[in-house]
Amino acid sequence: MKAFILDRYAKKSALRLGDVPQPAVKDDDVLVEIHAAGLNQLDSKLRDGEFKLILPYRPPLVLGHDVAGVVVRVGRNVRRFKAGDEIYARPRDGRIGAFAEFIAINEADVALKPNNLTMKEAASIPLVGLTAWQVLVDRAKLKKGQKVLIHAGSGGVGTFAIQLAKHLGATVATTASAANADLVESLGADVAIDYRTQDFEKVLSGYDVALNSLDAKTLEKSLNVLKPGGKLISISGPPDPAFGREQGLNWFLRQVLRLLSFGIKRKARARRVDYSFLFMRANGDQLSQITSLIEAGVIRPVVDRVFPFETINDALVYVDSARAKGKVVLTLK
């Protein structure tokens, strides 16, 4: 089958189109013919080698964390899906590979595609949807009447998280450029901070939760908008020892993470704020709950551009530009 291959870690390197074996189907797997694949900053960071110490990959490998397609074969233990089902998924770590014609995915990571979305729209959802769900529902336990700050509201995670937070009954503030203010407000943001002309830490206060997807400076400034007992959750780092334990990293690497996160955790404690790092995990059951929200019209996908499969390197350049509103998607069918 055709696939785009990462031959070695290198910053902004091009992926190579080549032939690789069709993946083997294990007893608990579904084999999916890929119709569309979402692109994420995570793919760029893996390509650049930023996670080579903490994620289980060795080049050559096929990247790609978002997939929508059709089941063509199922393993002997699979009960929830059958050939012909239209599905979407974020394959689990260690088994990614959506930049290809086929992928084998554990059925526990898979959900039926929302019936009101195209394949392209569906491929934009899994990683950002699960990230927002695991931050706001699992980790923050966001409740009606609470206030949440969502950084980069026009990005992939931001556009989804704003809608989910509003569904949960929260007041939502977000940072975005003035050009994207209409977009984030249409998704439900109550307060849109123009990061180019306004300092969010001087405008906002008394917030319960902040979701950071930006740099270390923004992370630290976010402490100032949270009230005592608030939660600062970062998906862009620094990773903390709890993440190291979840990943099964060795003692040395866990100590490295302890050092990396020491500064922000110390400053958070001084303000009686809880800091944690979240690296989302594949979860088909949660994705099914997201499907219900999408089919009910509560959440809509935001797709910026769709690229043909063969132009993936152009698509990655666009993702790296950080100009996308919502998600960037590849189409194979």
Residue 327 vs residue 56, higher pLDDT: 327
User: Taking 90 as the threshold, does the pLDDT of residue 247 lie above it?
Assistant: no
Average pLDDT value for residue range 250-263: 92
What one-character DSSP code corresponds to residue 15? P
- What backbone torsions phi and psi does residue 121 show, to the nearest 5 degrees? -65, -45
Average pLDDT value for residue range 102-122: 98
CA-based end-to-end distance of the chain: 14
What one-character DSSP code corresponds to residue 216? H
Q: What is the pLDDT of residues 157-205, one digit of tens each?
A: 999 999 999 999 999 999 999 999 999 999 999 999 999 999 999 999 9
User: Taking 80 as the threshold, does the pLDDT of residue 156 lie above it?
Assistant: yes
The CA distances from residue 204 to 185, 193, 207, 208, in Å, are 17, 9, 8, 11
Does one domain contain both 23 and 145?
no
Q: What is the pTM of this model?
A: 0.97
257 occurs within a structural domain: yes
Does one domain contain both 162 and 38?
no
Among 85-94, 195-204, 224-233, 236-245, which is the least confidently predicted range? Answer: 236-245
Does one domain contain both 172 and 116?
no
pLDDT score at 319: 95
289 occurs within a structural domain: no
291 occurs within a structural domain: no
- What backbone torsions phi and psi does residue 270 show, to the nearest 5 degrees? -60, -25
Does one domain contain both 113 and 146?
no
Q: What percent of the chain has pLDDT over 70?
A: 100
User: Taking 80 as the threshold, does the pLDDT of residue 56 lie above it?
Assistant: no
The enclosing domain of 251 has a CATH number of 3.40.50.720
Element (H, E) at 185: helix 181-187
**Looking at 99-177, which runs of residues are DSSP E strands?**
102-106, 110-112, 147-150, 171-176
Residue 131 vs residue 246, higher pLDDT: 131
Does one domain contain both 160 and 73?
no
User: Taking 90 as the threshold, does the pLDDT of residue 51 lie above it?
Assistant: no
The enclosing domain of 112 has a CATH number of 3.90.180.10
- Give me the domain span that covers residue 6: 2-125+301-331
Closest CA to 222 of 203, 239, 196: 203
